[in-house]
Amino acid sequence: MSASTVEVSIVNSRQPVTVIGLGPMGQAMAGAFLDKGHRVTVWNRTPSRADALVERGAVLAGSVEEALTANELVILSLTDYEAMYAVLEPAAHALSGRVLVNLSSDTPDKTRAGARWIVEHGGVHLTGGVTVPPSGIGKPESYTFYSGPREPFETHQPTLEALTSTDFRGEDPGLAALFYQIGMVMFWTSMLSYWQAIALADAHGLTAAEILPHATETMASMPNFLSFYAARIDSGEHGGDVDRLAMGLASVEHVLHTIADSGVDTALPAVVVDLFRRGMDAGHAADSFSSLVQLMKKAG
């Protein structure tokens, strides 16, 4: 058997896949499948987004129905679950027997409702929460949370691993979305803290590049704090032996005043000060600032 015959038979043995939704993420995913030798059918509301993929060998389906019937395994990469209904409702009769891997992000409740809707139409729904930007697709060091029925997940896991490594969280379809949202809570607020630091630095003539080493070191110290507090919080321990909320309030007020004195936006540090003051009002002055978790567990 020649090398090219081996290559052709490897390509033919790969599972063919449909990708619906070709934003930056869907394009990266369809590209990763092509890279690994899968036959790929694509569909997008704006068909021109498929041009580069078609040049690389993807097949552009003429309709959503055609995209669904082309392959058992269908990847959805849409803005949210509303977009899923908009795309799939007119072709709902073609969902029967398909395995829909929905890598669009949304709330856990909306993913559960979406999964029920797919099942009602005879399909299988796997929820995914992708933890990397499009540049991380196709790399085994990246990972995606999955949840839903275990058996179809395990059947399709080798194909899904063309995108990223997989982390199966359980059968509740909301779990992958929940883990995704837990990460996003931290991502968005951490990045906002970085923008705030850059705005403060800029008010004093410092560039983002100039504060980068200090910013990087500050962020890199965070895992130590996370693991130290995780064990204490899980055992309900908020003692003020290491830090005290009253000290924390003085510190976050220094941050607020530094930012106000510098003439930059105070919205973010004002919210932080407000949370610390609420903790003080709730009687936690002598406790660790981890006691703020107790406040945050209740609807504000």
Distance CA 41, CA 38 (A): 10
N-term to C-term CA, the chain: 68
Q: What are phi and psi of 196, to 5 degrees?
A: -65, -45
**Binding string, 39-78, against ligand NDP, x = CB under 6 A?**
-----xxx--x---------------------------xx
Which residue lies nearer to ligand NDP by CB, 21 or 123?
A: 21
Q: Of residues 18, 41, 71, 105, which one binds ligand NDP by CB under 6 A?
A: 105
Q: How far is the CB of 137 from ligand NDP (least distance, A)?
A: 9
Identify residue 163 by its one-letter amino acid code: L
Segment lying near ligand NDP (by CB under 6 A), choices 24-32, 197-205, 224-232, 277-285:
24-32
CB 44 within 8 A of CB 76: no
Examine residue 18 and tell whether it contacts ligand NDP (CB under 6 A): no
Examine residue 147 and tell whether it contacts ligand NDP (CB under 6 A): no
Q: Which H or E run includes 165?
A: strand 165-168
Paired tokens of 11: 């390509």
Examine residue 259 and tell whether it contacts ligand NDP (CB under 6 A): no
Which residue lies nearer to ligand NDP by CB, 26 or 248?
A: 26
The bridge status of strand 143-147 relative to strand 124-130 is: antiparallel
Q: What does each C-alpha distance from 289 to 88, 234, 252, 255 come to in angstroms?
A: 47, 15, 11, 16
Examine residue 293 and tell whether it contacts ligand NDP (CB under 6 A): no
Q: Give the residues lining the site for ligand NDP (CB under 6 A).
A: 21-26, 44-46, 49, 77-80, 83, 86-87, 103-105, 130, 133-134
